[in-house]
Structure 1
Amino acid sequence: MNSTVATVALLLWPIVSVALFATRPAVQATLWTIVGAQLLLPVGSGIKFEMIPPFDKATIPSFCIFFGYLIAVRRPWHLRFGLAEVLLAMFLFGPIVTSMLNGDPVFAGNRVIPGVGIYDAVSAVEFGLIILLPFLVGRGLFRTEQANESIMKVLLVAGLLYSIPMLFEMRFSPQFHVWVYGYSPTDFIQQVRDGGYRPMVFMGHGLTAATFFFMTVVAAVALRRSDPPHLSRSSGGKAAYLAAVLVLCRSAGATVFALVVVPLVYLAKPKLQGRVAAIFVLLALFYPMLRVADMVPTRLMVDLAATVSADRAASLGARFENETLLLDRALQRPVFGWGRFGRSRVYDSEGRDLAVTDGHWVITIGQFGILGFVAEFGLLALCVIKAAAASRKARSFKERVLLTALALIVATNVLDLLPNASLLPVTWLFSGALLGRAEALQLVATRKPSASEADRFGRPDIFPPAPLKG
């Protein structure tokens, strides 16, 4: 689906990123490089070279912030070994074992899907490393209270600006991607819902756009609660406006998440917010086990959806049926999975694909097995849990609010990977930011840092000077 305009946009983005790093602080440049790419670059287009994953909407900004971090910031990562490093190693090198164990072909009716080997192993490791670049940058760079506040402010500003084309598409249908890049990334019928349109602008799908606006609403509410009194009224108005835009996105999932999370961020103590965030990621982490044990009340959930809309109930029921098909297939090779290139899918006797893969969790288990799922979802869950625990060590109420709000944003994104498959670079960046700040706070609480550590991790926020005596 490449077009000339789409290719030019992708090629120009590194120049935009260089300009951002040359004129803005590294944290802001990183955020706008990633968030701006999510909002503006084309979906479905890429520049492909042999043996290298395509340069596209996800990979180009990831490379940009990684090299921007190395060149502009020049802070070496603090070497350590813990659970996060174990999960990172599993995520990166598990696909090698998967490829080595899947050299046999898969017969799908009259089709033959070849086995995978060294080539796919190298490709999978390259792709995994690129996926993790935002996480590594977030962990190394976003270690201060000011960095987390910048995340919330960038989300707020981006939401306010992006609401204008979103409102236009709500009224006149999703057309911006066609007008600018010359093609539509999805079927038009998918954006028609409840007698209106789901806006997507340049995000590829209305559900992705709604998920992003959920983030902006939570960010606005967190800033509203943490702002001083003379600014809180303005923040409250922005939060209400973004919430209205979210409702108009016609996404039941994002709206339900907002109904649960927004009151927590606005009213609950940060300690409770952190616990809810931890519960969210643990639910996502244990969901496959619950599905295998038939402990998920799928029939009850479909019946509840039917009270809202028959179409939503039918859609949810179809998701569960497809999950069952794909999970049964995945459990034939449960530890390391089937590998990529459609080997984990379900086919009929004529080679036709029988299942629709909506949930990221079942895609991951099918391709890379239980170990691949634990590596990816476990790493995301670990970031949330560690940030929730470390928030109690924060020096100010403002930081506790912002840190737990970010934990809820990431936790909700992880929980949303059960029905959907939109794991974006921005989620990896925010996860790394949670882990980086949690590690910094833990370092302060456990021991006095050396001068080099204090400089590396950003004094005086993380390592305040000792109070004067007398």
Structure 2
Amino acid sequence: MSATCYGILLATIIFDIKRFSSFQLGWLDLPMLVWCLCPLASSITNGLGLYDGLSSVLDQTVTWGLPYYLGRLYLNNLDGLRKLAIDIFIGGLIYIPLCLFELRMSPQLHRIFYGFHARSAFGQTIRGGGYRPTVFMEHGLMVGAWMMAAALLGVWLWKAGIIKQVWGISVKWLVAALIITTILVKSTGAVILLVLGLCILFFSNRFRTSLLILMAIAAISSHVYLGVSGQFPADQIVAVVSNVFNEERAQSVQFRFENEKLLSEKARERIVFGWGGWGRSRVYDEWGKDISVTDSLWILAFGTKGLVGIISLMASILLPAIAFVLLYPAQMWNHHKVASVAALAVLLVLYMLDCLLNAMINPIYILACGGIAGLVIKQTTISKEIKQLETHIPRYR
């Protein structure tokens, strides 16, 4: 991730240095700015020192800030975001044979090319009497989310008539292959997110309302609020999961919720800026053994960066999606110029939903987030300029 971001920045300096002068800080950039800088306050308030704080700021900026900044620089228009959506779709197509290989041969590509497995816990790749592919990512869940994203974008690009063929093959067959592969990679959460994303897009287009995506954003916010405040109804949700899916899935969800409860109680002891790094936000027994497991991104952000961190993180991802919904009504989401951005905005909400259970950071979503924020800021600026001009134009009968 660092090499990719630094490489693009270096190429911009060498070949396109004037691009930097086009960037203007906007109101949508403030949450990401706070998210990148808040580790400094977390380190200082916990007595970890200035050096630790600056190092944490650099790490967070490379992970989150640079992909967002590059999206703001290069993808801040409808055409740029359309190209990104198409490229994610093609990236998913490239992953299909890799996923099929690992479904049959087990996750070995990372070891073959790099000499080691991406995760030491190889047992997590065994699911449903077979294997769950990891290809070149950190975890099979990350691959599932990636295939879900490509399938979702593929369906909507096909529906809007933006692309008809790729490599001489009709896009409808390629979309079908992506959906099938998303199911085969054995990530239940990814399949649920795909169904939810398609429901949001088709419902919004059919009834010309943004109600579903706004409800999803409200549900995410409510989940985090209840988790932060310690009022999350874990038992009721586990009971529902047990009835809908199976006991194994229910036990997995219960294990996550129990750990989040412990970690949330610990985080509230340093509620503003969190505990900082070095495992200080984790829970230990009387012998100093770590008894907590951090699965979700939201509890990780809350524990290490406090309320400032979790609020700025959520606002960084969700505010651009909300701003897009307000700028482009749902009846425009099927238009060939807007459809790609609409699907990317829905994808950001789905990614934040995924972050309620997992902590799989993929810079492609952050890149899209920066692009949508740049589009909204640019459109807002243009609208203001037009209104200012209209006020100075004399009106004649």
Other structure's SS at 1:321 match: helix
Indicate conservation of the 8 Å contact 1:203/1:209, yes or no: yes
The residue that corresponds to 1:251 in the other structure is: 187
Please give the TM-score of this superposition, normalised by the length of structure 2: 0.89
**Is it true that 1:209 corresponds to 2:153 in the alignment?**
no
Indicate conservation of the 8 Å contact 2:158/2:164, yes or no: no
More moved, 341-350 vs 386-395: 386-395
CA shift, 1:85, in A, is 4.0
Cα distance between partner residues in 1 of 2:221 and 2:134: 29
The residue that corresponds to 1:285 in the other structure is: 221
CA shift, 1:229, in A, is 9.5
The residue that corresponds to 1:303 in the other structure is: 239
Cα distance between partner residues in 2 of 1:144 and 1:237: 29
The residue that corresponds to 2:129 in the other structure is: 195
The residue that corresponds to 1:218 in the other structure is: 152
CA shift, 1:267, in A, is 5.7
Indicate conservation of the 8 Å contact 1:361/1:418, yes or no: yes
2:325 maps to which of 388, 405, 423: 388
Residue type of the alignment partner of 1:285: S
The residue that corresponds to 2:37 in the other structure is: 93
Q: Percent same amino acid at aligned positions? A: 27
Deviations 1:203-224 (A, max 9, x none): 1210000000011001101110
Deviations 1:78-116 (A, max 9, x none): 43452x34323422332222212112xxxxxxxxxxxx1
Unaligned runs of 5+ in 2: 389-397
CA shift, 1:180, in A, is 1.7
The residue that corresponds to 1:400 in the other structure is: 338
CA shift, 1:342, in A, is 0.3
CA shift, 1:275, in A, is 4.3
Please give the TM-score of this superposition, normalised by the length of structure 1: 0.75
Indicate conservation of the 8 Å contact 1:99/1:118, yes or no: yes
The residue that corresponds to 1:4 in the other structure is: none
**Is it true that 1:371 corresponds to 2:371 in the alignment?**
no
Residue type of the alignment partner of 1:237: W
The residue that corresponds to 2:393 in the other structure is: none
The residue that corresponds to 2:367 in the other structure is: 429
Residue type of the alignment partner of 1:215: A
Count residues in correspondence: 380
Q: How does 1:158-197 map to 2 (within 5 A)?
A: 158-186=91-119, 187-197=121-131
1:349 maps to which of 286, 293, 298: 286
Other structure's SS at 2:328 match: helix
Cα distance between partner residues in 2 of 1:125 and 1:136: 15
Other structure's SS at 1:269 match: helix
Residue type of the alignment partner of 1:79: Q
Other structure's SS at 2:309 match: helix
Runs (4+) of structure 1 exceeding 6 A deviation are 393-396
2:72 maps to which of 121, 139, 146: 139
Cα distance between partner residues in 2 of 1:229 and 1:430: 19
**Which has the bigger relative contact order, CA under 8 A and spacing at least 6?**
2
The residue that corresponds to 1:467 in the other structure is: none
Q: Tell me which protein shows more helix as a share of its residues.
A: 2
Deviations 1:145-203 (A, max 9, x none): 22121112111211111110100111221111112211112211101111111111111
Q: How does 1:221-232 map to 2 (within 5 A)?
A: 221-227=155-161
Cα distance between partner residues in 2 of 1:138 and 1:279: 26
